[in-house]
Structures are given as structure tokens and as C-alpha cells.
Amino acid sequence: MSLIEMRDVKKRYKNGVTAAQDINLNINKGEFVFIIGSTGCGKSTVIKMMYREEKPTSGTIVVGGLNVGKLRNSKVYKLRRKLGVVFQDYKLLNKATAYENVAFALDVLGLPKSEIHKKVIKALDLVGLKNKAKNYPEQLSGGEQQRIAIARAIVNGPKILICDEPTGNLDPPTSAEIMKVLMEINKMGTTVIMVTHNHDVVKENNKRVILMESGRVLKEYKEGEYA
Amino acid sequence: MKFFRIFSRNIRDAALSVIRNFSLSLASVSSITITLLVVSISLILSYNVDNFATLVERDVTIVAFLETTATREEVIEVENAIKNMDGIDSFVFQSKMAITEEMMESSEVFQNIMKNWSEDENPLQDTFLIKVDNIDEIGFIAARILELEPVDSTKYGEGMIEQLVSLFDVVRKVSVGIVLALIVVTAFLISNTIKIAIFSRKREIEIMRLVGASNINIKVPFIIEGLFLGFIGSIIPVGATIYAYNRIYENFDGQLFSPFIRLVEPFPFLYGVTIILIGLGIIVGMFGSWRAVRKHLKI
Ligand SMILES: Nc1ncnc2c1ncn2[C@@H]1O[C@H](COP(=O)(O)OP(=O)(O)OP(=O)(O)O)[C@@H](O)[C@H]1O
Ligand SMILES: [Mg+2]
């Protein structure tokens, strides 16, 4: 059974824009999937429906055994605990250190301090920023901020990591560093779904690619097919 | 364990938020303080007025004097009319002859003057003594009795007590109105304070949702913040009430104007007032924050 399954999914926003339609997708455990396409084609909309930021207008979405479309607002947290999300703009707390930013994700779930410490150190180590734990976001480069955001997304060991243009604000060498971290996380068993504009990044990493256009899936490339 | 960790986290967040939005918190707290001071005054007045009222109630009697020309039939008419009135506890009739006899027995002087009075010459008046159920109605009932044809005049109670009771009653009614208006203003202010708190922590809330904090967990700190504001706002009213009431009680030696009007003893009365003030502060605080959360934290 696939980890993420979308059946005939359609999303029509309140303003009448149909941002996604006829979406049929199966993503298996351990996969790395790029979602690409021109601006406004519905990439963000598709992944927002996966983590239930948006509800599908019709169709079914099952993520990790949860019927996302039918999930009540008060139960969304159950889905969110199965996945991590990373954005182009990092979304860090500016008044908290790198360590505190990562710890925040566990703190709000009520984990004991000792366990939080262990997990945060491990996550910071994984993204290579153990030595910057005490820095505030403004004392970190863009790439470092994004790595903190990734550490926060994976610190609780989610099955799925969803990234919306994580390298969108970064130069090519820094993007490559981020990709290295994401590949590392994927190797450890986490399913990664990444929306990107960056063709170089997609070409350098021979992974499955979903190409979207005007709200539909135009073409799918299996691992190594996209060039 | 996990529950307590999350709960203590919520309390910490709420306390930090009160401090962070200091000026708005101060406005809310002041508003609660003013409201509760008025509540305290009206509570003290109400309780004391009720207390006077029960004290004087037992002894308040209307005396109705009939015209000297009143006939036996008219006396019976008045008696029936009083029997049929609402709010009357009991009454007795004293005829002018009975009063005359009583007076003649009590002194020789009276006896010498009165012994030759015939029924028609007797200047004394037939009298009804009427006890009412409720002191608040005494004026009203006396007026109705006076309307009866053969009744010449009525007298009742210590006028001052009645006036005091009705004055305090007006004060009580006005203060209930003021309290209600103040509660609305306060709830609005608190709601606004919490709204600002919600907006200033938007990013934090967004991340909490993203990493799987439950909705209750996200909302509770703001409700607790309202509770804190209410509680802090009740500190000054509680302190002022306990201090002032004790001083007044001591100063007046527990009574007002006459030994007849006893003030309610400070304890346990003030314990009750304290609980009401703190409870009301907390409820208004939580209500205000609950409204803000419902309106601005749609998750
Ligand atoms: N909340 C919203 N309400 C209404 N319309 C929206 C909303 N979000 C997106 N849209 C519209 O839906 C369409 C798809 O938007 P979406 O953000 O999914 O595109 P995208 O592929 O992520 O674009 P980009 O590459 O620029 O991020 C666009 O036309 C956009 O204007
Ligand atoms: Mg997008």
C-alpha cells in the first residue's frame, strides 16, 4: 500500500480558481519525489492538500492511513505528527536560538526535557549545525536557517518530509548543501516530496519527477528518466 | 506527566504573554479592577440592606386610626378589607372603648376624666394594629389602608429605616446596571488584548499547528491568559474590600445610626465576597479570551 494516495483530486478555491484537478498519485514509502512545473500550475496546492492545509474539493487523499479529506479540524494534528514540512521562507522563530527552534516542535508535544535534548542534538547533527545551536536565526546564513527548519521538520522522526521550494531563496552551492541533507534524510527511510523550480537540482538528483501544468499532472518520470 | 508538561508550558506562555503585551494587559486589568470594586460595593450594600430588612421586619406595624364617627358596620368593613389585602401578616382591632378601659385601669386621673364619657363623646379612635410580611411594602400597604373610607390616618415604623432601605435599594439597582455595563466593556477590552496576543504570536501558532500540537493545546494558553488578567484584576478589589469593610465595621461599632441597624459581621461575610470577586474576575477574563480565540484563532 502506498504511503500517499490521491484519487481524482480536485481543488477549487473560493475565488473560483481551479488550482488542481484529475490528480492521481501514489507515493511509496522511502521514495524521493520532485514536483515541478511553471509558476501557478498548482504544485503548492497539491502538497498543501497532503498536509491538510487545504481540503480537496473532491476526490480522496489518504496519507499514512488517514483519510485526509475527511479529517476533522480538531484531528489534523494526528496527520501533522506523521509528517514534517519545510518552506521557502524557513518560518523560524526569530527570538529563539537554533536549538530552541528545533526543540519547540517537541516541547509543544509535551516530551520530557532529556528526550528533547537528545533528539534535537541528533537532528542538528544530521543537518551539520550542532556547532551553531546557540545562534539566533539572524546570526545564520539563509542555507543554515533552512537546515534548522529541516532539523525542526524531522526532529520527531516523521515518515514523510514535504518541502515547498526549500532552495528557492538560495544560491546553487547552498542549494546543493540542502539537497545533500535531504538525500541523507531520504536514505534513512523518510519519504521526501519536494516542490521546486530549480531544474538543475532536479537534473543532478536522478529521482522520480512529477511535472504539472495548469492544475494537472502533465507527465511523470521514473527515477533516472528526467534529463 | 505529558499532560502536566504541556499544561505548565501553557501557563508559562500565558504569563509571558501578559508581560509582553504589558500596556494592553494593564488596561484590561484596570477595567476588571474598576468593575469588581463596583461589584464589591453593591454586594456589601445588598447584604447589609437585606440584613436591616430582616431585622426590622419583625417589628414593623402599621397603626390605622379610624374616624371617631365610624360605625360598627364600617369597622367590620375595614376589618374585611384588611383581611383581603395581600402582604399582611396579622392584625388586631382595638375599639375605642377597650382603649378607654385600658387607660382608666392604668391611672386614676384618666379614670376621673373618662368615666363619664358616653360612646359619642369619646374622643379616642378605634384602632387597627397591622403587621406586614415585607418591609419594602409597608408604605404601599399603609397607603391602601388610608384609602379605606372610615380610616382617618395611619402611622408606621421608623421612617428612617424605611427611607434607608429604599435609598440603598436604589443604589443597589443602579450599581447592578453599572456592573453589567462594566462587564461588557471589560470583556471587550480583554477580548481585544487576547486578539493582539494571538496576532503577535501568529508565527508560533502556525508552527505549533504544523508540528502537530492539538487545537486545545494551541488555544488553552490564551484562555489561561484571560484567566490571569481576571485574577490579577481581582487582587486590589479583594484587598480594598477586606480592609475597608473591617475599618467601617470597627468605626461604627457594627451599627449604623441606631442599634436597630446592625452591619453584617465581617467574617465569614468577607470570605464569600472574596470568592465572588475572584470568581467573577476569572469568569469575565476567560469569557473575553474565549471570544477572541473563537473569533481569531480558527483552527
Ligand atoms: N488560497 C488561495 N485562494 C485562491 N486562489 C489560490 C490560493 N492559493 C493559490 N491560488 C491560485 O491557485 C493557483 C495555483 O497556485 P499554487 O500556489 O498551487 O501554484 P504553484 O504551482 O505553487 O505556484 P508557484 O510556483 O508560483 O509557487 C494559482 O492560480 C493561484 O493564484
Ligand atoms: Mg508554490
All structural domains of chain B, each given as residue ranges with its CATH number in brackets, are: 2-56+163-297 (no CATH), 61-155 (3.30.70.3040)
Residue A54 lies inside a defined structural domain of this protein: yes
Residue in A85, A107, A111 nearest the CB of B210 = A85
| 3-state SS class at A219 | strand
Residue A98 lies inside a defined structural domain of this protein: no
Query: CB of A20 closer than 6 A to ligand 1?
Result: no
Cβ-defined contact of B210 to A80 (cutoff 8 Å): yes
> B294 pLDDT band (50/70/90 cuts)?
very high
Residue A214 lies inside a defined structural domain of this protein: yes
Total domain count, chain A: 1
**pLDDT of residue B262 exceeding 90:** no
**pLDDT of residue B257 exceeding 80:** no
Helical packing angle, A142-154 and A113-126, nearest 10°: 130
pTM above 0.80, yes or no: no
Where does residue B143 rank: exposed (0-12), middle (13-18), buried (19+ CB within 10 A)?
A: exposed
Q: What is the pLDDT of residue B154?
A: 85
ipTM, 2 dp: 0.92
> A184 pLDDT band (50/70/90 cuts)?
very high
Q: Tell me the pLDDT tens digit for each residue of B8-60.
A: 888 888 888 888 888 888 988 998 999 899 889 888 888 887 777 666 655 56
Query: CB of A43 closer than 6 A to ligand 1?
Result: yes
First to last CA, chain A: 29
> B284 pLDDT band (50/70/90 cuts)?
very high
Q: Tell me the pLDDT tens digit for each residue of B55-76.
A: 665 556 788 888 888 888 888 8
Answer for the pair B231, B286: CB distance below 8 angstroms, yes or no.
no
- The H or E element that residue B259 is part of is strand B258-262
> B173 pLDDT band (50/70/90 cuts)?
confident
Count Cα neighbours of A119 within 13 Å in the Cβ-side half-sphere.
Answer: 22
Q: What is the pLDDT of residue B55?
A: 63
A68-96 mean pLDDT: 95
Q: Shortest Cα distance from A85 to chain B (angstroms)?
A: 7
Residues of the domain holding A180: 4-82+158-221
Task: Give CA–CA dist A132/B195, Å, rounded.
Answer: 35
Residue in A51, A79, A112 nearest the CB of B5 = A112
- The residue among B185 and A152 whose pLDDT is bigger is A152
Q: What is the pLDDT of residue B159?
A: 58
**B299 in A contact zone (CB under 8 Å):** yes
Residue A147 lies inside a defined structural domain of this protein: no
A44-52 mean pLDDT: 97
> A190 pLDDT band (50/70/90 cuts)?
very high
Residue A132 lies inside a defined structural domain of this protein: no
Q: What is the pLDDT of residue B95?
A: 84
- CB proximity list for B176: less than 8 A, separation 6 or greater: B42
Average pLDDT, chain B: 85
**pLDDT of residue B270 exceeding 80:** yes
A83-87 and A32-37: which strand pairing?
unpaired
Q: Could you tell me the CATH number of the domain that includes residue A38?
A: 3.40.50.300
Q: Tell me the pLDDT tens digit for each residue of A109-165.
A: 999 999 999 999 999 999 999 999 999 999 999 999 999 999 999 999 999 999 999
**pLDDT of residue B157 exceeding 70:** no
Residue A87 lies inside a defined structural domain of this protein: no
| 3-state SS class at B191 | helix
Q: What are the Cα distances from residue A145, in Å, to A107, A140, A142?
A: 20, 6, 5
Residue A113 lies inside a defined structural domain of this protein: no
